[in-house]
A and B are shown apart, each in its own frame.
Chain A
Amino acid sequence: MEYLLNVLRPELLLAILGGAVIGTVVGIIPGLGSSMAIAMLIPITYGMSPEMGLLALVSIYCFAVWGGSITAILIGTPGTPSSAATWIDGYPLAKQGKGTFAIITSTVASTIGGVIGALALMLIAPPLARVALLFGPFEYFLVAALGLTIIATLASDSFIKGFITTFLGLFFSCIGLFVITGQSRYTLGIPVLLTGIPLIPSLIGLFSFSQALCLLGEGESTVKAEKSEDTLFLPSVIKCFAYMKSMILCGFVGTIIGILPGVGANIASWVGYGYSKQFSKRSSNYGKGEPEGVAASESANNAVCASSLIPMVTLGIPGSGTAAILMGGLIIHGLTPGPELFMRHADLMYTVMWGILLTQLLIPVIGYLGIRHYSKIVRVPNSVLIPLIIVFCITGTFAIRNSYADILIMLFFGILGYIMRHAKYNASPIAIALILGNLAERSLLLAIQLSAGSFSYYFSKPLSVVLMVLIVLSLGGQIYLARLKKGINLDKSL
Chain B
Amino acid sequence: MYNISNLVTLGFFLFGIVGIFWSFQFPLKVVGFPLAVLILISVFSLIELIKSYTKSGIGSKPSIKTIISNMKSKSFLMPLYMVAITLITVFLIKKIGFFVSISIFLIVTMLMLGAKPSRTLLVTASLVLIIWLLFAKFLNVPFPHGQWLSFMG
Smallest CB separation, B7 vs chain A (Å)? 7
- Contact of A8 with B by CB under 8 A: no
Stretch of A104-112, A170-178, A330-338 contacting B (4+ beta carbons < 8 Å): A170-178
- Contact of B31 with A by CB under 8 A: yes
Q: Which residues of chain A from 439 to 484 have any CB-CB distance to chain B below 8 Å in the complex?
A: 440-441, 444-445
Stretch of A28-36, A65-73, A116-124, A376-384 contacting B (4+ beta carbons < 8 Å): A376-384
Which among A47, A174, A212, A402 is the interface contact of B33 at CB below 8 angstroms? A174
Which among A167, A423, A441 is the interface contact of B9 at CB below 8 angstroms? A423
- Contact of A422 with B by CB under 8 A: yes
State whether A404 and B90 are in contact (beta carbons under 8 Å apart), knowing that A158-B48, A213-B83, A384-B119 are contacts in the complex. Answer: yes
State whether A404 and B82 are in contact (beta carbons under 8 Å apart), knowing that A164-B45, A168-B12 are contacts in the complex. Answer: no
- Contact of A407 with B by CB under 8 A: yes
- Contact of A387 with B by CB under 8 A: yes
- Contact of B151 with A by CB under 8 A: no
- Minimal Cβ-Cβ distance residue in A for B91: A404
Q: Point out the residues of chain A lying under 8 angstroms from B74, CB to CB.
A: 217
- Contact of B125 with A by CB under 8 A: no
Q: Could you tell me if B110 and A402 are in contact, using CB atoms closer than 8 angstroms?
A: no
Q: Could you tell me if B30 and A217 are in contact, using CB atoms closer than 8 angstroms?
A: no
CA distance in complex: A395, B135 (Å): 8
Which among A183, A394, A395, A404 is the interface contact of B86 at CB below 8 angstroms? A394
Q: Point out the residues of chain B lying under 8 angstroms from A420, CB to CB.
A: 8
State whether A394 and B89 are in contact (beta carbons under 8 Å apart), knowing that A164-B41, A419-B8 are contacts in the complex. Answer: yes
- Contact of B141 with A by CB under 8 A: yes
Q: Point out the residues of chain B lying under 8 angstroms from A418, CB to CB.
A: 79
Q: Point out the residues of chain B lying under 8 angstroms from A441, CB to CB.
A: 33
Q: Point out the residues of chain B lying under 8 angstroms from A170, CB to CB.
A: 34, 37
Q: Point out the residues of chain B lying under 8 angstroms from A217, CB to CB.
A: 74-75, 78-79
Residue interface bits B15-33, CB-to-A below 8 A is 1, else 0: 1000100100011011101
Q: Could you tell me if B102 and A395 are in contact, using CB atoms closer than 8 angstroms?
A: yes
Q: Point out the residues of chain B lying under 8 angstroms from A390, CB to CB.
A: 82, 86, 105, 109
State whether A44 and B119 are in contact (beta carbons under 8 Å apart), knowing that A178-B30, A391-B105, A423-B8 are contacts in the complex. Answer: no
How many A-B Cβ pairs are below 8 Å?
A: 144
Q: Could you tell me if A444 and B30 are in contact, using CB atoms closer than 8 angstroms?
A: no
- Minimal Cβ-Cβ distance residue in A for B7: A423
Q: Which residues of chain A from 384 to 399 have any CB-CB distance to chain B below 8 Å in the complex?
A: 384, 386-388, 390-391, 394-395, 398-399
CA distance in complex: A141, B138 (Å): 41
- Contact of A186 with B by CB under 8 A: yes
- Minimal Cβ-Cβ distance residue in B for A188: B22
- Minimal Cβ-Cβ distance residue in B for A442: B33
Q: Which residues of chain A from 255 to 300 have any CB-CB distance to chain B below 8 Å in the complex?
A: none
CA distance in complex: A384, B135 (Å): 21
State whether A185 and B30 are in contact (beta carbons under 8 Å apart), knowing that A383-B110, A423-B5 are contacts in the complex. Answer: yes
- Contact of A46 with B by CB under 8 A: yes
Further contacts, 8 of them, CB under 8 A, given A216-B78, A414-B83: A160-B44, A161-B9, A171-B37, A174-B33, A174-B37, A216-B113, A388-B106, A388-B127
What are 6 A-B contacts defined by CB distance under 8 Å?
A44-B139, A167-B40, A383-B114, A384-B119, A390-B86, A391-B131
B positions within 8 Å CB-CB of A = 4-5, 7-9, 12, 15, 19, 22, 26-27, 29-31, 33-34, 37-38, 40-41, 44-45, 47-48, 51, 74-75, 78-79, 82-83, 86-87, 89-90, 93-94, 98, 102, 105-106, 109-110, 113-115, 119, 123, 127, 131, 134-135, 138-143
A-B pairs with lowest CB-CB distance, top 9: A423-B8, A383-B113, A217-B75, A174-B34, A383-B115, A387-B109, A213-B79, A423-B5, A47-B139
A positions within 8 Å CB-CB of B = 43-44, 46-47, 158, 160-161, 163-164, 167-168, 170-171, 174, 178, 181, 183, 185-186, 212-213, 216-217, 220, 381-384, 386-388, 390-391, 394-395, 398-399, 402, 404, 407-408, 411, 414-415, 418-420, 422-425, 440-441, 444-445
